Amino acid sequence: MARTHVSGFPRIGAQRELKFAQESFWRGETDEQHLRGVARELRARHWREQRDAGLDFITVGDFAYYDQMLGQSALLGALPERFGFEPMALQLGQYYELARGNAEQPAMEMTKWFDTNYHYLVPELAPDTTFNGGVNWLFDEIDEALALNAPVKPVLIGPITYLWLSKSHVAGFDRLSLLPKLVIRYSRLLDKLKQRGIEWVQLDEPALCADLPEPWLDAFCAAYDVLGTVDVKILLATYFDSAAQHAPRVARLPLAGVHVDLVRAPQQLDAWRTALPAHAVLSAGVIDGRNIWRANLPAIVDSLQELHAQFGERLWIAPSCSLLHVPVSLAAEKKLNADLKSWLAFATEKLGELRTIATALRDPAAAAAQLDAARAALDARRRSGAVVNAFVQKRVAAVSNAMAERRSPFAERNRVQRAALDLPLLPTTTIGSFPQTAAIREARAAYRRGEMRALDYLQRMRAEIEFAVRKQEALGLDVLVHGEAERNDMVEYFGEQLWGYAFTENGWVPSYGSRCVKPPVIYGDIYRPEPITVETARYAQALTQRPMKGMLTGPVTMLQWSFVRDDQPRSTTALQLALAIRDEVVDLEKAGIGIIQIDEPAFREGLPLRRKDWADYLEWATRAFRISASGVADQTQIHTHMCYSEFNDILPSIAAMDADVITIETSRSAMELLDGFGAFAYPNEIGPGVYDIHSPRVPGTDAMLRLLERACEVIPAARLWVNPDCGLKTRGWPETEAALSNMVRAAKVLREKLTVRLPAHAHAHAHATFKSSSARSLTPRSSHSSG
């Protein structure tokens, strides 16, 4: 009969035990022994769950004290030289220094794992990197697992994916040249596993689903030709997209089996079933490892019948990818609506689904009850009035292209906005949030627990807004914000007010290190029953003569940071979100808010793994943003914000979003990306972040002035704004005030320099650059820029 396994199980624990143990270890409150004990206990619990669910293997090697890529580096002995650690004697404390930095060395770089919101630590490789072996933690874990008397299948990140995701700071160095050394280390590891009595080893190669260049594909084949000579069975795991194009060459390699993602890329099945040799195992990833919906088990079983007939016990059943990306268990969800809960499956519940599929393939009658239950839940979900909202459906069907267009082109809007807003050259602003002090967080928590009355809470938040407004006025900022004291999270805050959104109590998934996020669940048609931010914005605007910027989260970010419906395309959900936000934008305008920011920090991370799929995503994502932004008059200025710096490959789409002003992250890359914006001739206004809010360090006026002058070289001063990189919620007030004060001063100094240089007769709407001799002027206004 078909066998069952998982590529990986969440390591954090149902109550985030690992997180709390890590953090108390970092604070020095508990020792290494305690942390290791908690980890051992979690591993054992998760293995028992797999064994007791009847899985044919328990998976080992998916555990990590911080991150699985860092774990792989530690196992290989490939540590960044600059730390000076001895790879084979690496201590847990040192491992955390690699991840988090120490007094001398900044942490290893962190970046997103493929198209997930999980961040891994980027291996730092150099020409002289050796892979002479590192810590033995994996082997200790294997010994623990073997004690449970179930077949143990270790999982490692494969050599090609490991190299592909690594970086070298040595110019001109081709890291692929390290492959022979790396393959030797992997062979030794496989050999050592073999000696432990291991039969199957899973090597994860999701890089095969990315756009891997030809030399890398050749290297891939060469590497596995060697690894295949070790007398242990290799299951090559691909996931997150199709690897079908590589099926013919993969099939020729000495591999014992291949795992494929049939949730993201079901169309690849035929390529694999025809390509694989008669002895090979096909692991069918049929349960969604990236989402939380209960599977359509009857349909999955039907779709596997033929495959089962062909492969017999060489058919393995698995989730599409590691279950790392879903929460641990539904058991702890006490408040969730019972219907909704019956439509969901977290990691633990997914183990049961695997079992049901395998049983049904062998003996349909034996799984009849489970299949019926799955069918009933699905039918209920399809018919539920909570999912379908006829009004929203009608509205979505009626969306026209005109709704995605502002009334006039940017140049015309810009003219009207300048007249209406009367801002100085290089207007100063912030990204939205001000420090979330302990007092603010306590007030929010007390209100949530029902310990603070609604009216008291409202007054508390209003006092915070007034405080932030007065500070901004005193600092002399030109465009103010209310400070976002009432928001815990930029998606949750809006989601809680929208129909179609639900929130779990314990639906945590890891983001990086010990940090977890709790993505809300979009289960139904999205509808905004009433205004969300309007009263707050109106209150804030009434406090000041200066323009108050309304602050919203954009449709793509709402989508990207939620668990989304699997019963309609993401693009449709994005459109529904766009309509809800559009309503809010229009209501803000009606309430007299003349500048509205629609944040889209997650716009880029929605990009598909393969470039060929980018255009489609960028099309609907851009359109969703435009629909959210285009319900207002020309005079209303729409801002957007994105906090990253890799823009150059999607600049045309950023421009197509047609925000009047975009604020972006640039300070860490010393404005490198501005070159992209300059070369592309980005048409609208832009606020390149002039200081990094991720660090408590207060930047000096001179440093910010230099960045601004660089910006002026590529973008006409008349189109530049001055702002930090991102929101200030993680900072304290003293450093925030000091930094903003320096920032405002930098803007003033540059305004003066520019007006001196520019001829007095110049026209106010010039698109000229600082250095250009034909530069013309915008005379700084004196009113509120002199605070």
**Binds 119, which of ligand GLN, Zn ion, none (CB < 5 to 8 A, cut-off by type)?**
none
Across 262-387, the runs of DSSP E, i.e. the strands, are 281-287, 315-319
- Whose tokens are 């008669």? That residue is 278
Q: Nearest approach, Cβ of 431 to ligand GLN (angstroms)?
A: 4
CB of 665 to Zn ion, least distance (A): 7
As to burial, measured by CB atoms within 10 angstroms (0-12 exposed, 13-18 middle, 19+ buried), residue 246 is: buried
Nearer to ligand GLN, 288 or 484 (CB): 484
Q: Is 418 within any annotated ligand binding site?
A: no
Q: Does 490 bind ligand GLN (CB under 6 A)?
A: yes
Contact region with ligand GLN (CB under 6 A), list: 205-213, 379-387, 668-676, 721-729:
721-729
CB neighbours of residue 91 within 10 Å: 12
Partner that binds at residue 626, options Zn ion, ligand GLN, none, CB closer than 5 to 8 Å by kind: none
User: Residue 433: which of Zn ion, ligand GLN, none does it interact with, CB under 5 to 8 A by kind?
Assistant: ligand GLN
**For the chain, how big is the Rg over CA atoms in Å?**
28
Per-residue string for binding with Zn ion, 642-671, x by CB under 5 A?
-x----------------------------
Nearer to ligand GLN, 73 or 533 (CB): 533
- Residue 570 CA from chain centroid, whole number: 16
Which residues, numbered 281-310, are part of the site for ligand GLN (CB under 6 A)? none
Cβ 536 vs Cβ 552: under 8 Å: no
* 91 beta partners: none
Indicate which of Zn ion, ligand GLN, none lies near residue 56 (CB less than 5 to 8 Å, by partner kind).
none
CA 554 to mean position of chain CA atoms: 15
Between the alpha carbon of residue 787 and those of residues 470, 473, 742, 782, the distances in Å are 11, 7, 13, 10
Tokens of 586: 């229009």
384-392, 525-533, 577-585, 724-732 -> range binding ligand GLN (CB under 6 A): 724-732
Residue 123 or residue 601: which is nearer to ligand GLN going by CB? 601
Residue 783 annotated as lining a ligand binding site: no
Report which residue's Cβ sits closest to Zn ion.
643
CB of 358 to ligand GLN, least distance (A): 43
Strand residues in 460-512 grouped as ranges (E) = 499-502, 509-512
So which residues are the catalytic ones?
694
Is there a binding annotation on residue 721?
Answer: no
Which residues lie below 8 Å from residue 176, measured CB to CB, with a gap of 6+?
A: 163, 215, 216, 219
Q: Nearest 5 degrees, angle CA 250-CA 253-CA 257?
A: 70
What residue type is 126 in one-letter code? A
* SS3 track for 620-678: HHHHHHHHHHCCCCCCCEEEEEECCCCCHHHHHHHHHCCCCEEEECCCCCCCHHHHHHH
Asked whether the CA dihedral 147, 151, 155, 158 is positive or negative, the reply is positive
Which of 710, 729, 745, 751 is close enough to bind ligand GLN by CB under 6 A? Answer: 729
- Out of Zn ion, ligand GLN, none, what residue 404 binds, judged by CB under 5 to 8 A for its kind, is none
Collapsing DSSP states into helix, strand and coil, what is residue 443? helix
- Give the closest residue to 353 by CA, choosing from 307, 299, 272, 282: 299
301 binds, among ligand GLN, Zn ion, none (CB under 5 to 8 A by kind): none
How many residues belong to the chain? 787
Q: Binders of ligand GLN: how many residues, by CB under 6 A?
A: 13
Considering only 12-20, 431-439, 588-596, 612-620, which stretch makes contact with ligand GLN by CB under 6 A? 431-439
Among residue numbers 637 through 666, which ones bind ligand GLN (CB under 6 A)?
641, 643
AA letter at 633:
A
- Any binding-site annotation on 41? no
Strand (E) or helix (H) holding 20? helix 17-26
Judge contact between 430 and 740, C-beta under 8 A: yes
Nearest to 71 by CA among 158, 138, 168: 138
Q: Which is nearer to Zn ion, 247 or 726 (CB)?
A: 726
CB closer to ligand GLN out of 134 and 689: 689
Q: Nearest distance from residue 597's CB to ligand GLN, in Å?
A: 7
| Interface positions, 196-255, toward ligand GLN (CB under 6 A) | none
**Contacts with 265 (C-beta within 8 Å, 6 or more apart), sequence order:** 209, 241, 242, 243, 244
Quick one: 118 exposed, middle or buried, by C-beta within 10 A (0-12, 13-18, 19+)? middle
Query: Among 10, 123, 158, 432, which residue interacts with ligand GLN (rule: CB under 6 A)?
Result: 432
Helix axis angle, 368-383 to 347-362, nearest 10°: 120
State in angstroms the smallest separation of the CB of 730 from ligand GLN: 9
Is position 483 an interface residue for ligand GLN (rule: CB under 6 A)?
no
- In the complex, what is the shortest distance from the CB of residue 433 to ligand GLN, in angstroms, rounded to a whole number? 3
Determine the size of the site formed for Zn ion (CB under 5 A).
3
- Which lies closer to Zn ion via its Cβ, residue 601 or residue 716? 601
- Of the candidate spans 200-208, 393-401, 556-564, 638-646, the one that interacts with Zn ion by CB under 5 A turns out to be 638-646
Q: What is the nearest approach in angstroms of ligand GLN to the Cβ of residue 663?
A: 9
User: Considering the rule CB under 6 A, would residue 431 count as an interface residue with ligand GLN?
Assistant: yes
3-state SS string for 661-723: EEEECCCCCCCHHHHHHHHHCCCCEEEEECCCCCCCCCCCHHHHHHHHHHHHHHCCHHHECEE
Handedness of CA 467, 470, 476, 478 (dihedral sign): positive
**Pick from 169, 197, 195, 162: which is nearest to 78 by CA?**
162
Considering beta carbons, is residue 70 or 642 the nearer one to ligand GLN?
Answer: 642
Q: Would you state the structure tokens that stand for residue 187, as one six-digit string?
A: 């062979």
When asked if residue 552 is in the footprint of Zn ion (CB under 5 A), the reply is no
Q: Show contacts with ligand GLN in window 500-559 (CB under 6 A).
A: 551
203 binds, among Zn ion, ligand GLN, none (CB under 5 to 8 A by kind): none
Residue 367 in contact with Zn ion, rule: CB under 5 A: no
708-747 positions binding Zn ion, by CB under 5 A: 726
334 is in an annotated binding site: no
CB of 430 to ligand GLN, least distance (A): 7
Ligand-binding site membership of 433 (annotated): yes
Q: Is 619 annotated as a binding residue?
A: no
State the nearest-atom distance from the C-beta of 660 to ligand GLN, in Å. Answer: 17
Q: Write the binding mask 588 to 607 for ligand GLN: x where contact by CB under 6 A, - elsewhere.
A: -----------x-x------
Nearer to ligand GLN, 674 or 726 (CB): 726
Q: Is 712 annotated as a binding residue?
A: no
**566 in a known ligand binding site:** no
Q: Which does 432 bind (CB under 5 to 8 A by kind): ligand GLN, Zn ion, none?
A: ligand GLN
Task: Say whether 407 counts as a known binding-site residue.
Answer: no
DSSP secondary structure code for residue 729 in this structure: T
HSE (side-chain half, CA atoms, 13 Å) at 48: 6
Could you give the CA distance from residue 236 to residue 251 in angstroms, rounded to a whole number?
A: 11
Q: Which residues form the interface with Zn ion (CB under 5 A)?
A: 601, 643, 726
Which residue ranges make up the annotated binding site for Zn(2+)? 641, 643, 665, 726
Q: Residues annotated as binding site?
A: 16-19, 112, 117, 431-433, 484, 515-516, 561, 599, 605, 641, 643, 665, 726
Query: From the annotation, which residues make up the binding site for L-methionine?
Result: 431-433, 484, 599
Question: Interface with ligand GLN by CB under 6 A: which residues?
Answer: 431-433, 484, 490, 551, 599, 601, 641, 643, 726-727, 729
User: Residues comprising the binding site for 5-methyltetrahydropteroyltri-L-glutamate?
Assistant: 16-19, 112, 117, 515-516, 561, 605
